[in-house]
């Protein structure tokens, strides 16, 4: 059965962030995700989740200076200490929020670094993080992201992510499959998801072009929702799209797609 989580970074932008938990619950979502929790006291976020009976489905590891344009530091050879400190912060927040999985953004490849050193750094950082998170009972995820929206993002294809997972040798590293990003980079959505289902711990959605709600573009979401159920995907699907108008006004896509 399809389980939808509201991405509070993208949805309900018409209200302050802390009011989005209430808005999501009133809209019928049972779970939420968002990029980062670290700007708020973990106790405050936990109170919002409990008050509105919401599951914290996912958040990311700290990813550097987001406002300054950084999109992760895990592949940066000169930021290993900062990355490891971020793993500790992520564990503290995930425990407080009852979040059982966190995502690691690889980052934009440093312009002057050796390509092999970048890859080795990413693999080593993931190995460290996966072990630390496993000890805390938390899954680690990595997400390929399209290089049209984020030029130079190091991790951009499904097979590349699977190769990295293999090279860490960790049983606590999984794939976060974002339908929008992978439609832009490679297509073959259904066959790819089915082929690698055991390694996919989380799915995210948006339509293409535009990254708006399902039904606004080329992706056949009615088929994909049924397909995911049919092949036995039992994880959450994060609604990480840009509403074309006000979030609530556009939520009719759920009934139109049978979810």
Question: pLDDT tens across 164-217, in order?
Answer: 999 999 999 999 999 999 999 999 999 999 999 999 999 999 999 999 999 999
Q: In this predicted model, what pLDDT tens digit does every residue of 149-169 receive, in sequence order?
A: 999 999 999 999 999 999 999
Claim: this prediction has a pTM higher than 0.95: yes
CB neighbour list of residue 103: distance below 8 Å, 6 or more residues apart: 58, 59, 60, 61, 141, 142, 143, 176, 202
Give the pLDDT score at 153: 98
Q: How confident is the model at residue 93 (pLDDT cuts 50, 70, 90)?
A: very high
> Mean pLDDT across the chain, nearest whole number?
98
Peptide bond between residue 93 and the one before it cis (omega within 30 degrees of 0): no
Q: Determine the CATH number of domain 3-256.
A: 3.20.20.150
Give the pLDDT score at 122: 98
Q: How confident is the model at residue 1 (pLDDT cuts 50, 70, 90)?
A: confident
Radius of gyration (C-alpha) of the chain in whole angstroms: 17
| The two three-digit tokens of residue 179, written as one number | 């339908």
Three-state SS at 239: strand
CB 206 within 8 A of CB 179: yes
Is the pLDDT reported for residue 5 higher than 90?
A: yes
What angle separates helix 80-97 from helix 115-135, to the nearest 10 degrees?
Answer: 30
Give the pLDDT score at 36: 98
**Residue ranges of the domains in the chain?**
3-256
Rounded CA gap, 50 and 189, in Å? 35
**What DSSP character marks residue 35?**
S
Q: Which residues are catalytic?
A: 143, 240
CB neighbour list of residue 150: distance below 8 Å, 6 or more residues apart: 71, 108
């Amino acid at each position: 059965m399809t389980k939808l989580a509201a991405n509070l970074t993208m949805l309900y932008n018409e209200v302050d962030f802390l009011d989005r938990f209430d808005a999501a619950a009133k809209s019928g979502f049972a779970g939420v995700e968002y990029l980062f929790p670290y700007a708020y006291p973990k106790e405050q976020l936990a109170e919002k989740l409990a008050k509105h009976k919401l599951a914290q489905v996912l958040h990311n590891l700290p990813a550097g200076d987001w406002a300054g344009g950084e999109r992760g530091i895990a592949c940066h050879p000169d930021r290993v200490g900062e990355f490891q400190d971020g793993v500790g912060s992520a564990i503290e927040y995930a425990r407080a929020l009852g979040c059982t999985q966190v995502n690691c953004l690889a980052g934009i490849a440093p312009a002057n670094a050796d390509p092999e050193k970048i890859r080795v750094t990413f693999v080593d950082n993931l190995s460290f993080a996966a072990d630390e998170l496993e000890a805390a009972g938390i899954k680690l995820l990595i997400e390929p992201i399209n290089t049209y929206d984020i030029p130079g993002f190091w991790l951009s294809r499904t097979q590349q992510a699977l190769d990295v997972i293999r090279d860490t040798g960790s049983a606590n590293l999984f794939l976060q499959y974002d339908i929008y990003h992978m439609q832009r980079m490679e297509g073959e959505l259904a066959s790819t998801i089915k082929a690698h289902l055991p390694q996919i711990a989380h799915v995210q959605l948006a339509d293409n072009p535009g990254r708006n709600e399902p039904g606004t573009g080329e992706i056949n979401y009615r088929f994909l929702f049924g397909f995911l159920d049919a092949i036995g995907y039992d994880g959450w699907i994060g609604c990480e799209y840009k509403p074309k108008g006000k979030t609530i006004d556009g939520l009719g896509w759920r009934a139109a797609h049978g979810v």
